[in-house]
Amino acid sequence: MSIPETAYELAAVVREQGVRAVDATRQCLDRIVALDGELHCFLHVCGEYAIARATEIDRAVDAGHDPGRLTGVPIAIKDNICTTSSPTTCGSKMLAGFVSGYDAHVVECLEREGAIVLGKTNLDEFSMGSSAENSAFGPTCNPWDTSRVPGGSSGGSAAAVAARMVYAALGSDTGGSIRQPAAYCGVVGVKPSYGRVSRRGLVSYGSSLDQVGPITRNVRDAALFLQVIAGNDDRDATCDRRAVPDYINNLTCEVSSLRIGVCQELLGDGLDSQVREAVRHATSQFVDAGATMVSVTLPHAKYATACYYLIATAEASSNLARFTGVHYGNRSANSETIEELHENARGELLGNEVKRRILLGTYALSSGYYDQYYRKAAKVRTLITQDFEKAFENADVVITPVAPTTAFPIGDKVNDPLAMYLSDVYTISANLAGVCAASIPCGFDTSGLPIGLQLTAPAYCEQSLLAIAQTYESHTDHHLQTPPLIGTS
């Protein structure tokens, strides 16, 4: 039997002894060897660990045991999520070589269900970026066009899934860092509601915004992985205690009663015409299938970017204060006093974008400016949340683009921070409001680059979000397309 293309199918056939977990793992490791020199998706590959895990799983299956819902599925973990099997560097020289003393909650959940971790994926340093170019260890390339970015900050995870190096990968999303790279790489990415998934073991960037979520080849696999990692964790005080629905067995919805919210104000200036047309075509496909299109408004969305870059940087300033070379982080070799140790470690081992955001956040929190900036941003955040609440009174899901353009060339925006920040203009609001959102493939531009469709649903309505995404996916074949690079491996 050939090795299946989806995680859901692979787990089933490994449990039925139709395919060996070792064979599936070796196939993925071989693809990493063949392609990662060009793509640089991985910062660490733990091949021996993965093969040993796969061997254990095959033995368990042979003995009549069921290792779990992800039996034998090779996966990758974004390198800001703690693992004991390989280092957790956050793409930073500050944490080069750091090995966590424990596995993140989500990693525990995945391995408990039989998943096999192949390694850690590249990212913008400390998740601060929209292109995967800010990594201290070099950029990741987009498998659809290696001259272009894969998106960020979870660029390595999205590119690895698109290049079929792994069946799925975990990313983190603070302002679009799962959805935007998923869109650029033509795969599915889900940002769960705030509190739906434990953040224990996720290195914090913006603590009131961060969420861990899956990047997969299709919606069913996304539902499977979210099913495994979602739920309460008593070790994370922000984790919600409500029961997790059965996402896998509820991937259907009554299209005739579906209300699709379209926000015309987000389809105007600054949006590439091909992206706009793809989103409109996707909306018409829902209507053709029997859904009702309703107009919604998100009047404060235009303030989301400014609001985000005050709140997120303020939280980053606090969270990254621990990396001084004393208790956390590497040390500079040229320090004689404690002041020099702090200054040199942060000056030499943190990248420019991380420094920029720490400075922005520290300024926003400083005496005399807190009320003028941070408090005002917190009030705008409340207004954005209320906008979504009103929109969801009339719509089951809101459709928007994921990004203003398709993947842009490497280096194109690296020296223009404001232009880079606007790459997340459509995704930031969902993090500020704490709602759930997903990116699903909805077409390609004339250069053959993927376009993503963003679906946003109310908080803790992932079941509806996934069912609606599955409804769209079942009427298209965009998710079945693979990068030309795949044929050369």
Only one residue has tokens 């250069």, namely 447
Q: Which of 145, 18, 124 is nearest to 71 (CA)?
A: 18
Q: Which residues are catalytic?
A: 78, 153, 177
Q: How far apart are the first and last CA of the chain?
A: 21
Q: Tell me the two tokens of residue 189.
A: 């990415």
Q: Cα angle vertex 286, ends 285, 288, to 5°?
A: 60
Q: Specify whether the CB–CB gap between 458 and 422 falls below 8 A.
A: no
Q: Specify whether the CB–CB gap between 71 and 114 falls below 8 A.
A: yes
Q: Specify whether the CB–CB gap between 282 and 399 falls below 8 A.
A: yes
Q: Specify whether the CB–CB gap between 397 and 285 falls below 8 A.
A: no
CA atoms of 150 and 154, how far apart (whole Å): 9
Q: Which residues contact 108 (CB under 8 A, 6 or more apart)?
A: none
Helix (H) or strand (E) holding 243: none
CA atoms of 431 and 304, how far apart (whole Å): 10
Alpha helices in 294-442 (DSSP H): 304-319, 338-349, 352-365, 376-391, 417-421, 428-433
Q: Tell me, rounded to whole angstroms, the distance of Cα 81 from its chain centroid.
A: 12
Q: Specify whether the CB–CB gap between 420 and 414 falls below 8 A.
A: yes
| DSSP helix/strand/coil, 454 | strand
Helix (H) or strand (E) holding 456: strand 450-457
